[in-house]
Structure 1
């Protein structure tokens, strides 16, 4: 067997091939790294889009058994309570009250009590608006029911727009909008007023 020896030309070709592979690798490595970085960035962006958004935190201020009290300029006092209170916007003075109860007491210590399914108390305006099965007992045998009532807690004046029904020893009166002063001595009814009075014997 005869062995062939590698000549100068063969060695030159091998060196040339090696240098060519080195140049190709030098060019390919940066390109490959750039492609990998682009793929990673795209994957991160897609995962961020696909991820479910977190629910926004609520700014509602919830109060358990809220209680508000105050006194008017002429000595009238009020107390508002409820089963729950919510301040939907912390920048306002409006509080939503569930099952509100209002107790009004005048200078003569006469007490009126009002209840409803819902209410909104404006601390700045000193106004309570009751809605839903509004009931009031004036402490003197008179009772009324309405769909809605607006009470000025400083004066005790009550007004509303619809669905008023008054029951007392003198009979029953129904009407639309109404206004009543704190003492209940003056009552103005408007719109479809009708009633049944019981004559005194």
Structure 2
């Protein structure tokens, strides 16, 4: 082989390497921008998805409720009678901090008096701004004078001691039994009004029950 042939062979090998390198460089120039665009699209899509799904998450999912165990709420009615509300547990409404949900509440009106009025229920809602207590489920009222009443709902205004219920009531006491579709208790329990479907009339020494 002559020197010229050797130079031609080396030139051809160099040319093939140069062409391969040129193809790789060209491929990199095309592939890299495409890869960068794909990465940016993926990142943008992930951010958009997180932003979209964040609107579906409720703050309550990440915020634990604060439960009070055996809470006690004290107050005084307009005529000076003290009252106390107790419960097995309580949870304050995060949307309305003046509203408290009670589990197994007990209301005692006239604490310290000879004949306090006591009301119990399965559940209750107490408003600290209006001092009104709503009772639900197995409501039991005891006026402290031998009269006991049972209903499913009751609204107690602790400011004046009045109790009302737009639900079936069954009661019993020293003078007999009574049943009605609605009821109201006034004057510290001395006056009770039964409404709708009343089956009996009860007269008391300290007041009266009126059938309507």
Equivalent residues in 2 for 1:36-75, closer than 5 Å: 36=35, 38=38, 42=42, 56-75=61-80
How far 1:164 moved relative to its partner?
0.9
C-alpha distance after superposition, 1:75-117 (max 9, x if no partner):
1211111111122425331111111111000796541111111
Larger RCO (CA within 8 A; separation ≥ 6): 1
How far 1:61 moved relative to its partner?
2.6
Matched, 1:22 2:40: no
Q: In 2, Cα distance between the equivalents of 1:79 and 1:108?
A: 13
Gaps of 5+ in 2: 204-212
Contact 1:61 1:88 in 2 (8 A): no
Contact 1:60 1:88 in 2 (8 A): no
Contact 2:168 2:180 in 1 (8 A): yes
Counting helix residues as a fraction of each chain, which structure ranks higher?
A: 2
Matched, 1:79 2:81: no
Q: In 1, Cα distance between the equivalents of 2:148 and 2:2?
A: 126
Q: In 2, Cα distance between the equivalents of 1:18 and 1:106?
A: 102
Contact 1:105 1:112 in 2 (8 A): yes
Q: 1:196 to 1:72 in 2, by over 3 A?
A: closer
Contact 2:84 2:111 in 1 (8 A): no
1:158 to 154, 163, 182: 163
Task: Return the TM-score normalized by structure 1.
Answer: 0.80
Q: 1:89 to 1:59 in 2, by over 3 A?
A: farther
User: What corresponds to 2:126 in structure 1?
Assistant: 121
Q: Secondary structure at the match of 1:195?
A: coil
How far 1:74 moved relative to its partner?
2.2
RMSD value, Cα: 3.1
User: What corresponds to 1:191 in structure 2?
Assistant: 196
Q: Secondary structure at the match of 2:68?
A: strand
Gaps of 5+ in 1: none
Matched, 1:95 2:100: yes
Task: Return the TM-score normalized by structure 2.
Answer: 0.76
Say how many residue pairs are matched.
192
| Deviant stretches of 4+, over 6 Å | 43-46
